[in-house]
Homo-oligomer: A and B are copies of this chain.
Amino acid sequence: MKANNKPLILVTNDDGFDAKGIESLIEVSREFGEIVVIAPDISRSGMSHAITIKEPLRISRISENDNLTIYSTNGSPVDCIKLAINQVLPKLPDLILSGINHGSNSSISVIYSGTMGAVMEGCIYGIPSIGFSILDYDKNADFTASKIYARYIIRNVLNSGLNKGTCLNVNIPKGLSHELKGIKVCSQAKGMWKEEFDKRTDPHHCEYYWLTGSFINLEPENDATDEWALSNKYVSIVPTIVDFTDYNSVNLLKNLENDPSHL
């Protein structure tokens, strides 16, 4: 990799290094800097913030061109960030981008998301990090509008930065760019997945289950949420932190601080 003054941008995803979504993100991010891609060798959706402890990790260089080097690994999206920062990159990146994910990571889906796992890992390192997802699971989804919005958001974050400890979860509705109404900065809607396991019997007469389910929005009337924005054809941006503390409950639970002799 050449030394230059362009921003160093690390790109990853959870759909695999050869997914159409990451190709779109690489195309946009090349306008802004030198790009290193380190992404899973195969689709690793639903990996959340998982790390690989019990298996050895491997890195393969797929291609190297002017200002664009692509690696794949057998690790999770979070492993990709750790390997990039500690083994592959010559210095800390100026920006981490993840996606464009094929499928929504709004509301509670953020917690299951490998795309957002990588973004949060970047945030833990103090690096401005953005995850992009489109509400379209089709592997041939049309990313034309997504690229317009991604370009606008990347430009803004490179110019203005983000608060340390804050990363962005960007979700983009399906649709042509003239059908989208702009951007809303939102909260994560309260919601959950209602599982419907598909129970089957294999040829050896053993039962097995496929995880399926449908999303339930628990606050459909709240127009401050990402789900409201997306269902009204806005691109949602949720500023995201990795502090799980429920500060409101810290004082409420002080009664548990009993004298140990009373346990």
What are the residues of chain B within 8 A of A112 when measuring CB–CB? Answer: 49-51, 78
In the complex, A238 has a CB within 8 A of chain B: yes
Of A27-35, A93-101, A249-257, which binds chain B?
Answer: A249-257
Chain B nearest Cβ from A218, distance in angstroms: 10
Chain A 80-106 interface mask (CB, 8 Å, partner B; 1/0): 001101110000000000000000000
Q: Report the bound CA distance from A260 to B186 in whole Å.
A: 17
In the complex, A13 has a CB within 8 A of chain B: no
Q: Report the bound CA distance from A68 to B176 in whole Å.
A: 56
Q: Are B245 and A238 in contact (CB under 8 A)?
A: yes
**Given A82-B195, A185-B257, A208-B58: A244 touches B149 (CB 8 Å cut-off):** no
Q: Report the bound CA distance from A61 to B37 in whole Å.
A: 44
What are the residues of chain B within 8 A of A202 when measuring CB–CB? Answer: 56
- Specify how many copies of this chain sit in the oligomer: 2
Of A1-9, A17-25, A39-47, which binds chain B?
Answer: A39-47
Q: Report the bound CA distance from A238 to B199 in whole Å.
A: 37
What are the residues of chain B within 8 A of A260 when measuring CB–CB? Answer: 177, 180-183
What are the residues of chain B within 8 A of A197 when measuring CB–CB? Answer: 57, 82-83, 86-87
User: A residues touching B (Cβ–Cβ < 8 Å)?
Assistant: 43, 45-54, 56-59, 76, 78-79, 82-83, 85-87, 108, 110-112, 117, 120, 124-125, 148-149, 151-153, 156, 163, 165-166, 169, 177, 180-188, 190, 192, 195-197, 199-200, 202, 206-211, 224, 237-254, 256-260, 263
